[in-house]
Amino acid sequence: MPRPADPAIPPRPDPSRPAAMSAPDPGALLAWYDRHQRRLPWRAEPGTRQDPYRVFLSEIMLQQTTVVTVAPYYAAFLARWPSVKALAAAPLEEVLSAWAGLGYYARARNLHACARAVVERHGGAFPDTEAALLELPGIGPYTAAAIASIAFERRAAAVDGNWERVLARLFAVEEALPRAKARLRALALTLLPETRHGDFAQAMMDLGATLCTPRKPACALCPWQGSCAAHAAGAPERYPVKAAKSVRPTRQGVAFLAVRADGAVLVRSRPPRGLLGGMSEVPSTDWVEGGPADPALAAPMALEWQPLNAAVGHVFSHFALELAIWRARAPALTPAPKGHRWVRPEGFDAEAFPSVMRKVLEYIG
């Protein structure tokens, strides 16, 4: 039961907020959103509710990935697998092949596993609560809240990187990410409106993506400028504070590019989990700092291997790779060694080649 403040005890000022600053009003953000929302392929027409499968598909693809990159993949997936049942019925290899180039391939494996779980556990209909969504593979706190709010109008805080940046600035949070995540989530819960939960989630993302950007935020256009502690302090770009990043090491390896007389290339599939799990690759040595001691020991078969005067460079999230190319010609009808297969260039699109392997394949010659 709330009681009136004791006039003898002045309210404690919020140290992150000057006394004259007003609290952020969710209604002001929603009014801004009504005028400035982005039209994106996975968004429903204003005033209508989006198909949960489309929200799910787009949210998984958008994890750590830009709108521009996702758009063509989203269209291709939706055309090929228009429903969660269709996706669940697809072979994993086809899903990985369609995902190739988008990165973070565990997302594709989990997307497929999640579709199957929705069919098997929920009869093909996505559960409509944050808690039930959180039980599904590949769906974490953000995605569960995003689907619950956007597809089902549940009151939930879909705190992504945009929300975190907006909140860190509004409240001038000095604690550094990622440690500050719990604090930012608590602040998010205080801002949730009583209506329009899906719109609010997307309004926060649009605000972060278009005005409250990492660099050079457009504070003059912001509906919350008068409520923002970072703006009041004259240093919006100082937030969110981030922990120092560790250095990225470089690993070296040798890729063995065997080209048969009919143009086919020797290929294999990577182990089902871990880096590039389940994806197709040109066989190679291990990728290690300092490089492999004796690359020849890792050759997939006995051929006249010729080191090329070229190397593929590629940057992963936690290491950089320098991949030397050894190439060899194999006679027609040469059988593939165990665990390998020959694939002609016409078949490349059906393979799940990640970007680094597409670079290697440029050297077929």
Partner DNA sequence: TAAGCGTGGCT
Partner DNA sequence: TAGCCAAGCTT
Q: Which is nearer to DNA, 103 or 226 (CB)?
A: 103
User: To which residue do tokens 């907006």 refer?
Assistant: 166
Residue 275 near DNA by CB under 7 A = yes
C-alpha torsion sign, points 147, 151, 152, 157: positive
User: To which residue do tokens 């392929």 refer?
Assistant: 41
| Cβ-based neighbours of 171, under 8 Å, separated by 6 or more | 16, 17, 187, 229
Distance from C-alpha of 141 to C-alpha of 136, rounded to nearest angstrom: 11
Residue 222 near DNA by CB under 7 A = no
Least distance (Å) between residue 65 CB and DNA? 4
Residue 226 near DNA by CB under 7 A = no
Distance from C-alpha of 55 to C-alpha of 292, rounded to nearest angstrom: 44
Q: Which is nearer to DNA, 21 or 44 (CB)?
A: 44
Distance from C-alpha of 105 to C-alpha of 99, rounded to nearest angstrom: 8
Pick the piece of the chain touching DNA (CB under 7 A) from 21-29, 44-52, 60-68, 118-126.
60-68
Q: What is the dihedral of CA 303, 309, 310, 311, to 10 degrees?
A: 70
Query: Contact letters (x/-) for DNA, 100-119, by CB under 7 A?
Result: -xxxxxx---x---------
Q: Of 45, 59, 289, 322, which residue is the catalytic one?
A: 59
| Cβ-based neighbours of 235, under 8 Å, separated by 6 or more | none
351 is catalytic: no
Question: At 14, which amino acid appears?
Answer: D
Residue 196 near DNA by CB under 7 A = no
User: What is the Rg, in whole angstroms, of the alpha carbon atoms belonging to the chain?
Assistant: 25
Q: Which is nearer to DNA, 214 or 263 (CB)?
A: 214
Among 67, 71, 132, 350, binds DNA (CB under 7 A): 67
Residue 280 near DNA by CB under 7 A = no
Residue 176 near DNA by CB under 7 A = no
Among 46, 214, 263, 347, binds DNA (CB under 7 A): 214
Residue 43, helix vs strand vs coil: coil
Query: Contact letters (x/-) for DNA, 286-325, by CB under 7 A?
Result: ----------------------------xxxxx-------
Distance from C-alpha of 178 to C-alpha of 104, rounded to nearest angstrom: 20
| Cβ-based neighbours of 16, under 8 Å, separated by 6 or more | 171, 172, 173, 174, 229
Residue 165 near DNA by CB under 7 A = yes
Residue 160 near DNA by CB under 7 A = yes
Distance from C-alpha of 176 to C-alpha of 185, rounded to nearest angstrom: 14
Q: Which of residues 233-272 bind DNA (CB under 7 A)?
A: 242, 245-246, 248
Residue 148 near DNA by CB under 7 A = no
Q: What region does 172 belong to: left with phi over 0, alpha with psi -120 to 50, or beta?
A: left
Residue 193 near DNA by CB under 7 A = no
What is the enclosing helix (H) or strand (E) of 97? Answer: helix 92-99
Q: Which of residues 124-143 bind DNA (CB under 7 A)?
A: 137-143
Q: What residues act catalytically? A: 59
By the criterion CB under 7 A, which residues form the site for DNA?
A: 40, 42-43, 58-59, 62-69, 101-106, 110, 137-144, 146, 160-162, 165, 178-179, 202, 205, 208-209, 213-215, 242, 245-246, 248, 274-277, 314-318, 354-356
